A and B are shown apart, each in its own frame.
Chain A
Amino acid sequence: MIYDIIIVGAGMAGLTAAIYGSRAGKSVLVLEGNIHGGQIINTINIENWPGDYKTTGAELMQKIYKQAVDLGAEVEYDEVIKIVDKGEQKEVECEDAKYTARAVILAMGTEPRKMSDKQARDAGNRPVSYCATCDGALYKGKPVVVVGSGNTAKHEIAYLEGIASKVYHIHHDDPIPQDAAAVFVAIGRVPSTECVEGLIELDKEGYVVANEDCTTSQEGIYVAGDCRTKKVRQLVTAAADGATAAEKAVRYLNKI
């Protein structure tokens, strides 16, 4: 089957795009390598999503996922490896299968930047976490180390200081202390745009180059959410992008 729209990523941007695309009467397939919900499912207390004061990321995204599916969007759990633009058809190659659509919306989001190889070797078999609020409590009374020097690292250190017996603070490339029971990595995020390298114009950090209208360098391929160049990366701006990208895709489909 050839879908009208394939959306890569089932976070806030992707699922909002799925809602808009489905409501416009288009067949929509959302491809997700991990689980629907995106980065926000790690957040336990959300206070800036209008209408749902003090909700959790998991609860909010579960509702949005159900809304998208109820409106007719299909969700398939398959990691996208590569996208091939054949003009009026776009082929999306995944780990398990290949899917085809007439338009594509990229909504892969971002992922935590990994430690250097040297640090990873240093860490050895010790657990590595990218989220202190997720895993910190497992190291109650034990020494841990935080890698990073930005705001996120400071936030992680402050959180862990209330739990761990000692919190080492090192920069990337510093050696990992011998006695640290776990390594918390907070050295920023990188866009998950590997599957479109060589296909779409990316900036030097790997973000998809786009304007507020969510169009990309390829006709029929749009981008929404954190993986595009933008100033404000928030839940509501991701949702806004989802709507804009879907609207653009629908207009494009109605024309071809």
Chain B
Amino acid sequence: MKEIGAKEFEAEVLQENGLVLVDFNADWCGPCQMMKSVLEEFAEKNNTVKVVGVNIDDNEDLAREYNVSGIPCMVLFSDGKETKRVVGVQSVKKIERMIGV
């Protein structure tokens, strides 16, 4: 999974056509580690959704801007606009259901 920061966010997420799932995470968060392996499995199965990670410690402004109040926090963007979000570790099935793929 590609990790991005504030610099890349505009091009990688906001300017992107289609679906982008952003995983807000941190190194000190155990469930986030679990979520990363789930998202890697998800990405292998679903190539129509782009998945990127944002480390909230390195990108405090992004975390504040997107009002991240618990992690892992997965925010779905459709054509650059937030459409859905879910907080807490989830199975691949639940992520697929949330996105509708």
Contact surface of A with B, Cβ cutoff 8 Å: 32, 34-35, 37, 41-44, 56-59, 61-62, 77, 127, 129, 133-135, 137-138, 182
B28 touches A35 (CB 8 A): no
At the interface, yes or no: B101 with Cβ under 8 Å from chain A? no
- In whole angstroms, how far apart are the Cα atoms of A44 and B33 in the complex? 10
B90 touches A42 (CB 8 A): no
Q: Which of A41, A42, A77, A138 has the most CB of B within 10 A?
A: A138
Contacting residue for B69 out of A34, A59, A61, A127, CB 8 A: A127
Q: Which of B28, B69, B94 has the most CB of A within 10 A?
A: B69
B28 touches A44 (CB 8 A): yes
At the interface, yes or no: B86 with Cβ under 8 Å from chain A? no
A138 touches B57 (CB 8 A): no
Taking the closest CB of chain B, its distance from the CB of A55, in whole angstroms, is 11
Q: How many residues of B contact A (CB 8 A)?
A: 23
The chain B residue sitting closest to A33, CB to CB, is B91
Give me 16 other A-B pairs in contact (C-beta within 8 A), A37-B34, A41-B33, A57-B30 excluded: A35-B38, A41-B30, A41-B31, A41-B89, A42-B30, A43-B30, A58-B30, A58-B33, A58-B34, A61-B34, A127-B69, A134-B31, A134-B71, A138-B56, A138-B63, A138-B68
A-B pairs with lowest CB-CB distance, top 8: A58-B33, A77-B91, A127-B69, A58-B34, A35-B89, A77-B93, A42-B30, A41-B34
Contacting residue for A59 out of B33, B38, B94, CB 8 A: B33
The chain A residue sitting closest to B73, CB to CB, is A138
B89 touches A133 (CB 8 A): no
Interface pairs (22), CB distance under 8 Å:
A34-B91, A35-B34, A35-B35, A35-B38, A35-B89, A35-B90, A41-B34, A41-B89, A44-B28, A56-B30, A61-B34, A62-B34, A62-B37, A77-B93, A127-B70, A134-B30, A135-B69, A135-B70, A137-B26, A137-B57, A138-B69, A182-B69
- In whole angstroms, how far apart are the Cα atoms of A137 and B93 in the complex? 29
Contacts of A37 in B (CB 8 A): 34
- Find residues 69-101 in chain B having any chain A CB closer than 8 Å to their own CB: 69-71, 89-94
